[in-house]
Amino acid sequence: MIKLKPFALFIVLSWMCIQTQAQETSSNAFSLQQAIDYAYKNSPNYLNAENEVLMAKYKRKEVLGMSMPQLSTSVDIKNFLEIPTTLLPGAFQGLPPGTFIPVQFGTKFQAQGGVSGSLLVFSADYLIALQATKEYISLMNINVTRSKTELVSQVSKAYYGVLVNKERIKLLDANVTKLEKILNDTKAFQKQGFAEQIDVERLEVAYNNLLTEKQKIDRLIGLSEHVLKFQMGYAGQDNLVLTDSLNLTESNDISASKIDVTKRPEYQLLESQQKLHTINIKRLKFGYLPTLVAYGNFSYMGMRNDLSYFKKEHTWYPTALVGATLSFNLFDGFQRQYKIQQAKLDLTKGENNLKNLQLAVELEGASSVVNYNNASSSLQIQKRNLELAKNIYDVAQKKYAQGVGSNLEIINAQVSLKESETNYFNAIYDLLISKTDYLKATGNLVK
């Protein structure tokens, strides 16, 4: 057994703790793309969309199975507690006409076992159903794309919300530290008779308000993290570590351009539904065609007065047949014709929905451009306002320290600074959200 000196043991334990902490940190550390990738694997709604694709594929295989031979087997054993009675004409025994002789034919036990099969030779419904299942798979794949777009949008917005709130708390911490120092200095001045009690109380009110604001942001960070966890499908109790930062580059205004509506999954879904409406019309029209099914059966029957079915001297009687059934509908009271008219109206409604969606997408695109440009302009203004508010606060602080300024100037400057910081971070969040909405509206959010 290896013995470690106390110092060496301490080093080993420290290294193990560091490794464990690093593993725990890496397990809940996410960049935006990592958060999106995690959501792909864990979001219940997105996983359900992927399952719908698998279900559609299995449905197609189920329909394909209709064209294969259908085989079945059965074994039937009957025990006649009373053997069936048959009436024979009495004339067979010289009795008067109109009289009957009751007789019992058969055995107490009857057993029958056999195999039967059928094959669908031709059915218009089958051919149309096969085509419809193929289109249905395509529809479910498009639905996955739509779910992916929604998921990326939701995770991105939640991620940005956490980042913005964490940046806000950093500035609030710095402001709290600055104001706390001024408050402590003023208290010291008040004890020496160089400041009044009201000056201390004014600063203390401002300081308490700033602490309250900081507590609100702390709670808001916790809430925004819960929102992000929900969108990601993250079930962990640990706080998330976000590795991305708010690196905003100078953004230029974008101009409205014609949006390729075919990139939008919503449009692709409606197009796929239109194909299904067309297939449904074809199905109803082909319903006038006949259906042809071939079938066959082979079985053995054994009749005994006891259950000794497997003795060699007993005989089993075979039965075999093959056949085909051709069926078609002669007259249905024009029901199918009216169903065709209804299906055509569904197709027309789908065309109107496509036109309406195209108009809605164009409106959404134009609106997203305006929102993005407004957010970009607002961010530049709020950034400048924040710089001015910081400068005013620093000047008021220096004047107060030199004895040529009042605490009212500091309080007013601090209130303006807090308001400017709030407006600045709101502008950052609005820009990030409007950019996400713009990419979504143009169909470029998911590559």
Average pLDDT of every residue of the chain: 87
Q: Are 155 and 40 in contact (CB under 8 A)?
A: no
Helix (H), strand (E), coil (C) string for 330-360:
CCCCCHHHHHHHHHHHHHHHHHHHHHHHHHH
Cross-strand partners of 263: none
Element (H, E) at 57: helix 44-64
CA distances from 191 to 178, 187, 188, 194, 199 (A): 20, 6, 5, 8, 12
Encoding tokens for residue 358? 């195209």
Rounded (to 5) percent helix, strand, coil in the chain: 65, 15, 20
- The helix (run of H) or strand (run of E) holding residue 216 is helix 197-232
Q: How confident is the model at residue 307 (pLDDT cuts 50, 70, 90)?
A: confident
pLDDT in tens, 154-170: 999 999 999 999 999 98
How much is the pLDDT for 51?
96
Confidence of residue 18 (pLDDT cuts 50, 70, 90): very low
Q: What is the pTM of this model?
A: 0.80
Which pLDDT belongs to residue 309?
A: 67
- Are the C-beta atoms of 287 and 336 separated by less than 8 Å? yes
Which residues fall within 8 angstroms of residue 371, CB to CB, at 6 or more apart? Answer: 430, 434, 437, 438
Query: Which DSSP string corresponds to 139-155?
Result: HHHHHHHHHHHHHHHHH
Q: What integer pLDDT is reported at residue 84 of this predicted model?
A: 86
Q: What is the mean pLDDT of residues 434-447?
A: 88
Q: Are 249 and 428 in contact (CB under 8 A)?
A: no
- Give the pair of three-digit tokens for residue 160: 């940005």
Which is nearest to 172 in space by CA: 388, 423, 427, 418? 418
CB 214 within 8 A of CB 169: yes
Going by C-beta distance under 8 Å and a sequence separation of 6 or more, which residues neighbour residue 397? Answer: 178, 182, 410, 413
- Burial class of 7 by CB neighbour count within 10 A (0 to 12, 13 to 18, 19+): exposed
- CA–CA distance, 359 with 256 (Å, rounded to integer): 15
Largest CA distance in the chain: 147
Contact 253, 436 (CB under 8 A): no
What percent of the chain shows pLDDT beyond 90?
A: 55
Predicted confidence at residue 260, as pLDDT, reads 86
For the segment(s) 30-68+123-290+333-441, the CATH number from 2.60.40.10, 3.90.1150.10, 1.10.443.10, 1.20.1600.10 is: 1.20.1600.10
- Is residue 121 scored above 90 in pLDDT? yes
**C-alpha–C-alpha distance, residues 225 and 217, integer Å:** 12
pLDDT, one tens digit per residue, over 244-273 is: 888 766 566 677 677 888 888 999 999 999
pLDDT band at 327 (very low <50, low <70, confident <90, very high): very high
Query: Tokens 């902490």 label which residue?
Result: 21
**What is the b/e burial string over 363-384, where b = at least 16 CB atoms within 10 angstroms of the residue's CB?**
ebbeebbebbbebbebbeebbe
Provide the sign of the torsion angle of the four alpha carbons 423, 244, 252, 435, taken in this order.
Answer: negative
CA-wise closest residue to 227 among 164, 148, 163, 155? 155
Measuring CA to CA, which residue among 439, 425, 411 is closest to residue 186?
411
User: Among the listed ranges 38-42, 205-209, 235-239, 426-430, which one has the minimum average pLDDT value?
Assistant: 235-239
Domain ranges of the chain: 30-68+123-290+333-441, 80-117+296-327
> CA 134, 140, 141 angle in degrees (round to 5)?
90
- Residue 263 has a pLDDT of 86
Q: Is the separation of the CB atoms in 436 and 445 below 8 Å? A: yes
Model confidence pLDDT, tens digit, residues 126-158: 999 999 999 999 999 999 999 999 999 999 999
Confidence of residue 63 (pLDDT cuts 50, 70, 90): very high
CB of 358 within 8 A of CB of 258? Answer: no
- Rounded to whole angstroms, what are the CA distances from 319 to 30, 114, 287, 322? 72, 9, 35, 11
| pLDDT score at 306 | 76
Average pLDDT over residues 345-362: 95
Question: CA-to-CA distance for 447 and 444, rounded, in angstroms?
Answer: 6
- Give the pLDDT confidence score for residue 344 in this predicted structure: 95
Rg over CA atoms, the chain: 41
- Residue of 312 and 14 predicted with greater confidence: 312
Express each pLDDT in 329-343 by its tens digit. Answer: 888 889 999 999 999
SS3 19: helix
